[in-house]
Amino acid sequence: MDIVTEHTDEITQVKVPLPFPLRWVNAYLVRGSLGYTVIDPGLHTPDAEALWLQVLQERGIGFEHIEQIVLTHHHPDHYGMAGWFQERTGAPVLLSETGYAQVQLLWGPEQPMSERLLTLFARHGFPEAGLAEMTKHMVSFVDLVSPQPQVTLLREGPVRLGNRVYEAIETPGHAAGHLVFYDAEAEVIFCGDHVLPQISPNVSFLPQVEENPLGEYLRSLQEIGRLQVKMAYPGHREPWAGFGARTEELVRHHHERLALMEDQLSAPLSAYEVCRATFGDRLSVHQMRFALSETIAHLILLEAEGRIQQVDPAAELVHYVAISR
């Protein structure tokens, strides 16, 4: 596997290691006359530090040559190294306003999102015996995103990456405030985790963030799929052509998943039970966090479409059942 790939004179892909099944996250160096833009520098680990030092040294890039760090979204495998880079370069870190709000919820002084998620999971049937391990797992990410950078808010509209002007487009679903960067002239897109080849991006429900994240994701896929794209640079796996076709595949995938879950609810089940029926019962705590959050996102959309309902909305433990037609 090539760790570093120069796709054009301006765009270099760097595979930053991850201690997860995904194995790596794609960062990108975009060269311009004023220096380099780093897109999504990766999770902060010793291995990631060592890789970046090697990559920069081999290419004769000093920290003073880093112009800016630009983030598609706030997830730790993309955001985590931003503060490390900023400490060494003094460069601004650009992130959407909604993404920065998520940073505060997840890794701010009180980490309120951790408690909200644990409460949500308990209501949806996650075993009480597993809550302590889930808490430990969520707290463990604080070190992987430290030090925290000073963030410059990035809004939709023109943004310069290297020598070219891209359009920052908000694409909700995988992450609140997720941005893709599209160059209409070159027909190139940095799509973060919104659209991935071969694998389906996780779409999680987070309490008090988005009411219907899967609904937003499907709408966004249909809109973004209309763009003319010759080459897409994703957050995971390899850059690829066929971006529009992939957005259609992802829409079909989620409609199939919705139908599967609706069929499972011929009798009342909790979201945790639906999750195990859909994703299996051999998930790590890391995988379960995302699988259960995604299951809840699907059930919320099914309920919004009038296909399922809660058995007793006032009950302490939530169960869903399909509505007979």
Per-residue pLDDT of the chain (325 residues; tens, 9 = 90+): 799 999 999 999 999 999 988 899 999 999 999 999 999 999 999 999 999 999 999 999 999 999 999 999 999 999 999 999 999 999 999 999 999 999 999 988 878 888 899 999 999 999 988 888 998 888 889 999 999 999 999 999 999 999 999 999 999 999 999 999 999 999 999 999 999 999 999 999 999 888 999 999 999 999 999 999 999 999 999 999 999 999 999 999 999 999 999 999 999 999 999 999 999 988 999 899 999 999 999 999 999 999 999 999 889 999 999 997 6
* Helix, strand, coil % in the chain, rounded to nearest 5: 40, 20, 40
What b/e sequence results for 164-185 when a residue is b if at least 16 CB atoms lie within 10 Å of its CB, and e otherwise?
A: bebbbbbbbbbbbbbbbbbbee
Sheet with 35-39, side-by-side order of all strands: 4-6, 11-17, 24-32, 35-39, 66-70, 93-96, 151-154
Alpha-carbon distance 22 to 110, whole Å? 29
Q: Please tell me the predicted confidence (pLDDT) of residue 278.
A: 97
Tokens of 156: 């939709």
Tell the residue number behind the tokens 């990766």, with chain if given: 42
What b/e sequence results for 3-32 when a residue is b if at least 16 CB atoms lie within 10 Å of its CB, and e otherwise?
A: eeeeeeebbbbbbbbbeeeeebbbbbbbbe
- Number of domains the chain contains: 1
Q: Please tell me the predicted confidence (pLDDT) of residue 22.
A: 83
Q: Please tell me the predicted confidence (pLDDT) of residue 280.
A: 93
The beta-strand segments (E) located in the chain are 4-6, 11-17, 24-32, 35-39, 66-70, 93-96, 151-154, 157-161, 164-170, 179-183, 188-192, 231-234, 308-310, 320-322
Tell the residue number behind the tokens 């891209």, with chain if given: 166
Alpha-carbon distance 162 to 145, whole Å? 25
The beta-strand segments (E) located in 151-187 are 151-154, 157-161, 164-170, 179-183
Q: Please tell me the predicted confidence (pLDDT) of residue 195.
A: 99
Tokens of 276: 């195990």
Question: 0.85 cut: is pTM over it?
Answer: yes
Domain that holds residue 77: 4-322
Integer-rounded Cα Rg, in Å, for the chain is 20
Question: ∠ CA 215-216-222 to the nearest 5 degrees?
Answer: 95
Between strands 157-161 and 164-170, the pairing is antiparallel
Q: Please tell me the predicted confidence (pLDDT) of residue 59.
A: 96
**CATH number of the domain within which 289 lies:** 3.60.15.10
